[in-house]
Amino acid sequence: MSNIVAIVGRPNVGKSTFFNRLIEKRQAIMDNMPGVTRDRHYGYAEWCGKFFTVIDTGGYVTGSEDKFESEIRKQVKLAIDEAAAVIFMVDCRDGLTGFDKDFANLLRASKKPIFVAANKADTPDKTILASEFYALGLDGEVFPVSAENGSGTGELLDELVKIF
């Protein structure tokens, strides 16, 4: 089994922010050096002595709904084919959207472990909004997280690394 974790979800939910938080600091610093590409999509992460590779997906989505549909399929296919586990990111502030449901329906078929990260839970009043995403009907917990301030990420990672 690979040790790849794919972060999927619709645009602007915070996938890249979360990815940058997960990957080793040294890589993030390297990316900020002049002349070094900023659109890194693979990174190495470590939690509790477990090492894994993280993929940040969905960097190219712009424009029409058709393109968006095919981007969803691309992300899900990659997640199904390559990843040992999937972090499915949604946005507490926006709440549950139709695109989240589409994603969930495709992911469900993958049989891979899926960790729902309800992002932008920066404060307790936002954290309680995360329970809405149980309506997606995916197995396991919904983890309220803040990619911005780091809250909740430890709880998610504790569960995630159990699969390795």
Side chain identity, residue 48? C
- For residue 128, give every residue at least 6 positions away whose Cβ sits within 8 Å of its Cβ, in sequence order, or none: none
Binder of ligand GDP out of 3, 17, 27, 53 (CB under 6 A): 17
Under rule CB under 5 A, which residues in 13-42 are in contact with Mg ion?
15-16
> What are residue 113's phi and psi, to 5 degrees?
-65, 130
Residue 12 known to bind ligand? yes
Residues facing residue 8 across a β-bridge? 88
Residues facing residue 88 across a β-bridge? 8, 116
- Degrees to nearest 5, angle at CA 155 with 1 and 153: 90
Q: In what order do the strands lie in the sheet with 114-119?
A: 42-47, 50-56, 4-8, 85-91, 114-119, 142-144
Tell me which residue has its CB nearest to Mg ion.
Answer: 16
Taking the C-alpha atoms of 41, 102, 81 and 62 in order, what is their torsion angle to the nearest 10 degrees? -30
Binding partner of residue 43 among Mg ion, ligand GDP, none, CB cut-off 5 to 8 Å per kind:
none
Q: Tokens standing for 39? A: 């659109």
Q: Is 3 helix (H, G, I), strand (E, B) or coil?
A: coil
57 contributes a contact to Mg ion by CB under 5 A: no
Measured from the CB of residue 6, what is the shortest distance to ligand GDP in angstroms? 13
Binding partner of residue 104 among Mg ion, ligand GDP, none, CB cut-off 5 to 8 Å per kind:
none
57 contributes a contact to ligand GDP by CB under 6 A: no
Measured from the CB of residue 61, what is the shortest distance to ligand GDP in angstroms? 8
Closer of 75 and 127 to Mg ion (Cβ): 75
Binder of ligand GDP out of 4, 13, 84, 116 (CB under 6 A): 13
122 contributes a contact to ligand GDP by CB under 6 A: yes
Binding partner of residue 144 among Mg ion, ligand GDP, none, CB cut-off 5 to 8 Å per kind:
none
Q: Binding residues for ligand GDP, per CB under 6 A?
A: 9, 11-17, 119-120, 122, 146-148
